[in-house]
Amino acid sequence: MSGVRRVVSLVPSLTEAVAVSAPGLLVGVTDWCTHPGDLGDAVRIGGTKNPDVRRIAELRPDLVIANEEENRAPDLAALRAAGVEVLVTEVRDLPQALRELDRVLVGALGLRRPGWLADAERAWAGVEPAGAERAWAGVEPAGALTAFVPIWRRPWMVLGRDTFAGDLLARLGVRNVYAGHPERYPRVPVEELAAAGCDLVVLPDEPYRFTAEDGPEAFPGLPAALVSGRHLTWYGPSLAEAPGVLSQALRAAL
């Protein structure tokens, strides 16, 4: 193992990846870090968008791990100005996520490559983006199914271009109709969404917590797949079971 002994994670999925791979390294995590359930004595240092920079510096971490999308550049700059080393990940698709996990766990932390990471690679092996054979049975129309994927309401926001979640869905045979949008998370009026002519709507339970009573009613007559946000948007140990969990939710909607 490298000289890194004290880690602060500003990314829930990376928190889980580190905690499962090397219990005891984490000294600070965000308020949104919920997995695994027992994070020991790790101090809560605020949210992903509003971390307490002074509290983090007081924890004397050897490394802070962050993400260019989930965390704000001014906060990361403030940490560096305080003399804290910060590693920033970038994740836009599954292959990049697997590479970044290797970079954090093996490269930066000096850990032996965890077995769950190999399990995740095996789980997704041969599952290519839309156009390939779907990873679940029971749906026969030619080509990929089309969907939009809300991540917020009031206002309605959806997955747009270059998103990790969109890539996972494409590998399961579901094409995001807003994948070509110039924005990554565009605001789209609900009337436009309802008129998009998609096969289904995919509703994750984070960052907005869509439920059977909150979300599907906005799109009457359209099949709604309620999916686990952790399995759709997190890159970590959940990747090993994500194909099965997501496929089951998609199948149940049709």
pLDDT digits over 47-102, tens only? 999 999 999 999 999 999 999 999 999 999 999 999 999 999 999 999 999 999 99
What stretch of H or E contains 26? strand 26-29
Looking at CATH, the fold of the domain delimited by 7-113 is given as Rossmann fold (3.40.50)
pLDDT digits (tens, 9 = 90+) for 189-213: 999 999 999 999 999 999 999 999 9
> In the CATH scheme, what is the code of domain 127-253?
3.40.50.1980
Query: Looking up tokens 């990471």, which residue turns up?
Result: 117
Cis check: omega of the bond before 237, within 30 degrees of 0: no
Closest CA to 116 of 129, 108, 105, 127: 105
* Alpha carbons 18 and 229: distance in angstroms, whole number: 19
Domain spans of the chain?
A: 7-113, 127-253
pTM, 2 dp? 0.89
8-state DSSP, 235: -
The domains spanning 7-113 and 127-253 adopt the same CATH topology: yes
> In Å, what is the CA distance from 16 to each residue of 3, 84, 230?
21, 21, 11
Average pLDDT over the chain, rounded to whole?
A: 92
C-alpha distances (whole Å) from 60 to each of 81, 82, 120 are 14, 10, 32
pLDDT higher than threshold 70 for residue 117: yes
- pLDDT tens for 23-32 read 899 999 999 9
Apex 99 CA angle, 129 and 228, nearest 5: 55
Q: Model confidence at 38, in pLDDT bands (50, 70, 90)?
A: confident
Range of weakest confidence among 18-27, 109-118, 123-132: 123-132
Bridging pattern class, strands 157-158 and 150-152: antiparallel
The residues that bridge with 26 in the sheet, in sequence order, are 7
Beta-carbon contacts of 161 under 8 Å, excluding residues fewer than 6 positions away, are 178, 179, 180, 181, 182, 183, 184
